[in-house]
Amino acid sequence: MSGTKHISVAPHAKSNKFEIRRKLLLAVMLLGMAVLAGRAVFLQVLDTQFLQQQGDRRHVGAVSVPAYRGKILDRNNEPLAISTPVESVWVNPKFFKKDEEATFRQAAKLLKVPSKKVNKLLKEGTTTRFSYLKRRINPLLAEKIKALQISGVYFEREFKRYYPAGAVSAHVVGFTNVDDVGQEGMERGYEQSLKGIAGKKRVIRDGRRRVIKDKDVENILAPVSGQDLVLSIDQRIQYLAFKALHEGFVKHKAFSASLVVLDAKNGEILAAVNQPAFNPNTRKGLKASAVRNRAMLDVFEPGSVVKPFVVAAALEGGYVKENIQIETHGFYRVGRNLVKDVHNYGTMDLMHVLKKSSNVAVSKIALKMPREYFWDSYNQLGFGLSANAGFPGEASGILLDFQRWHDFEHATLSYGYGVAVSVLQLARSYTALADNGILHSVSILKRDEDYDAKRVFSADIAKKVTAMLEHVIKRDGTAYQARVDGYRVAGKTGTVKKATAGGYADDRYLAVFVGLAPVSDPRFVIAVMVDEPSAGKYYGGLVAAPIFSKVMAGALRVYGIAPDKEETMPVLLTNEK
């Protein structure tokens, strides 16, 4: 081993190096501990706000407090739409536990959640952090789900809208969607006042972000309930109208039907019904066409029910005399066109013009009036203008500019072709006859007085035309089935051919009747329209008039209006001097 050198390290040198490293490591550890201790003292003693804020972020949060939606009431404060507290179930799959999958599927089955949605929520790696399992469930079902105590399943308080009157008032009241936002009818039109303002409160949550029951920290903002809405509708009359219209709709196998009842004294809408109807409480499979309030939104050519206004306007303007005699011959040539009657009525006075509903006679009367004057008479009655009753989307109808009329259009307008109105507009126009020449504005909201009423005919003319319309209800008139036992009734029928792409159909009709009662002091105006009756009868006097009679009889009875037919009045009254 010659030539090899060995270097040895003394034992005490190794010991010194190890000691230095140990002390250095110990010093670093002590320094770190000192820093941590100092930080803890600073946060917990000197500066507690930071930890408080961090703790609040993790365990105290703000949640929305839903506001109570205002009620919708009829004129007698009967509820038509109310809100009830319910709970909605939502999930955060992030907190699901594997051993609770069977329990979760059991809950989903109780809630009738589609299996496809359940599988998607249970799928590993899902990024979903919030999903409604079921909205607005009843309290008993909510308690069953809560009892299962499933991780990641939470509950949220909401309100569910309920409609006690169901289909009877559905077209007027409308409905809300799943988020309690108005979609149709008054619910939609008065959304801003009904919905209220949601509040806020602070709550304490557990480690899984669940709200700990009864641990509200403070109210940040109290919810403001929505305003109640009081309608002019009288639910008693609404029910009578709904029942009678439904019976007529089914009996005559109609496409649709509408009816409006007005208070003749102030223009309030006491009832507005349509067929087919729908139940706003169960909207499964609901068609958009079924929810339309046709009485206020749809327009049609009214036919002969406008003839009383032609007679009234001609008398008012002095274009005809009350004792005029009109030759009809059964037809009347206007330019190259022909106006026809169903029969040759010969020579007629004004009462018989309305009683027999002569197109020829009323055309001759209309053509005596200047176009502008005639147009203004219809316009004053509200034709071509929205009735502004307070219902969203009301129809304005159609009334063409008189400068575009030819003589034939001038003539056809006199018997209700070439002008389009809603059932509401038609009912409103008859208030001018019912209230001695004063046309009332109409309102779907309850009111004490009509401040927008205006005179369109003199009281004398209105009374004379109304007296003529009493004869329409006589046995030899066109609306004998509109009579109401014990009461004097006045009204007018209309049987209208429906317009088609190529003109007017010969086998599709609208049956119309508008009337008022009692004639001695009119209280109600009722307009009825039945669209395409297909069971055989289609005349207004045979289809619409009987519906009118049922509703008018019921309304007079409900309001306790005394009979005004002499032969049916109590002996005490008939013997008075």
Residue-level pLDDT at 571: 40
Mean pLDDT calculated for residue range 387-416: 94
CA 326 to chain CA centroid, Å, is 47
Domain extent for 183: 62-230
Q: Are 92 and 152 in contact (CB under 8 A)?
A: yes
Q: Are 291 and 458 in contact (CB under 8 A)?
A: no
- Report percent pLDDT > 70 for the chain: 88
Domain boundary among 230, 246, 270: 230
Residue-level pLDDT at 439: 98
Looking at the structure, tell me whether residues 515 and 435 fall in a common domain.
Answer: yes
Which residues of 254-403 form beta strands (DSSP E)?
256-263, 269-275, 326-327, 331-334, 337-340, 347-348, 398-399
Residue-level pLDDT at 347: 95
Structure tokens at 577: 């001097």
Domain boundary among 213, 230, 247: 230
Looking at the structure, tell me whether residues 93 and 165 fall in a common domain.
Answer: yes
- The answer to whether residue 25 is domain-embedded is no
- The answer to whether residue 12 is domain-embedded is no
Is this model's pTM higher than 0.85 or not?
no
Looking at the structure, tell me whether residues 540 and 453 fall in a common domain.
Answer: yes
- The answer to whether residue 270 is domain-embedded is yes
Rounded CA gap, 231 and 443, in Å? 9
Residue-level pLDDT at 122: 79
- What's the maximum distance between 2 C-alpha atoms anywhere in the chain? 165
Side chain identity, residue 137: I
Rounded CA gap, 336 and 461, in Å? 34
H helices within 274-421, ranges in order?
Answer: 294-297, 307-317, 350-356, 359-367, 371-380, 407-414
Q: Are 146 and 161 in contact (CB under 8 A)?
A: no
- CATH number for 122: 3.90.1310.10
Per-residue pLDDT reduced to its tens digit, 240-250: 999 999 999 99
- The answer to whether residue 547 is domain-embedded is yes
- CATH number for 321: 3.40.710.10
Looking at the structure, tell me whether residues 239 and 226 fall in a common domain.
Answer: no
Structure tokens at 521: 């002091």
H helices within 123-222, ranges in order?
Answer: 139-147, 170-173, 185-189, 191-195
Side chain identity, residue 552: M
- The answer to whether residue 38 is domain-embedded is no
- The answer to whether residue 46 is domain-embedded is no
Residue-level pLDDT at 572: 38
Q: 106: which residues sit within 8 A by CB, 6+ positions away? A: 148
Side chain identity, residue 8: S
Strands 72-73 and 229-230: parallel
Q: Are 421 and 210 in contact (CB under 8 A)?
A: no
Strands 131-137 and 175-176: unpaired
Structure tokens at 211: 């709200």
Q: How many helices (H) and strands (E) does the chain have?
A: 20, 23
SS3 155: strand
Side chain identity, residue 107: A
Looking at the structure, tell me whether residues 484 and 563 fall in a common domain.
Answer: yes
Residue-level pLDDT at 53: 57
Residue-level pLDDT at 219: 64
Catalytic residue positions? 304
Q: 567: which residues sit within 8 A by CB, 6+ positions away? A: none
Looking at the structure, tell me whether residues 351 and 434 fall in a common domain.
Answer: yes
Rounded CA gap, 391 and 414, in Å? 29
Total structural domains within the chain: 2
Angle at 410 between CA 409 and CA 415, to 5 degrees: 90
Looking at the structure, tell me whether residues 121 and 166 fall in a common domain.
Answer: yes
Looking at the structure, tell me whether residues 123 and 203 fall in a common domain.
Answer: yes
Q: Which of 155-164, 524-533, 560-569 has the highest mean pLDDT?
A: 524-533
Q: Are 261 and 245 in contact (CB under 8 A)?
A: no
Mean pLDDT computed over every residue of the chain: 87
Per-residue pLDDT reduced to its tens digit, 22-70: 788 888 888 888 888 777 776 666 655 655 555 555 555 666 677 889 9
Mean pLDDT calculated for residue range 532-558: 96
Using the Cα atoms of residue 455, residue 458, residue 459 and residue 463 in order, give the sign of their dihedral: negative
- The answer to whether residue 40 is domain-embedded is no
Looking at the structure, tell me whether residues 109 and 254 fall in a common domain.
Answer: no
Per-residue pLDDT reduced to its tens digit, 133-179: 888 887 788 888 888 888 888 887 778 899 999 999 999 999 998 88
Structure tokens at 333: 């040539």
Residue-level pLDDT at 528: 98
Looking at the structure, tell me whether residues 184 and 303 fall in a common domain.
Answer: no
- The answer to whether residue 5 is domain-embedded is no
Looking at the structure, tell me whether residues 250 and 272 fall in a common domain.
Answer: yes
Per-residue pLDDT reduced to its tens digit, 240-277: 999 999 999 999 999 999 999 999 999 999 999 999 99
Looking at the structure, tell me whether residues 206 and 338 fall in a common domain.
Answer: no
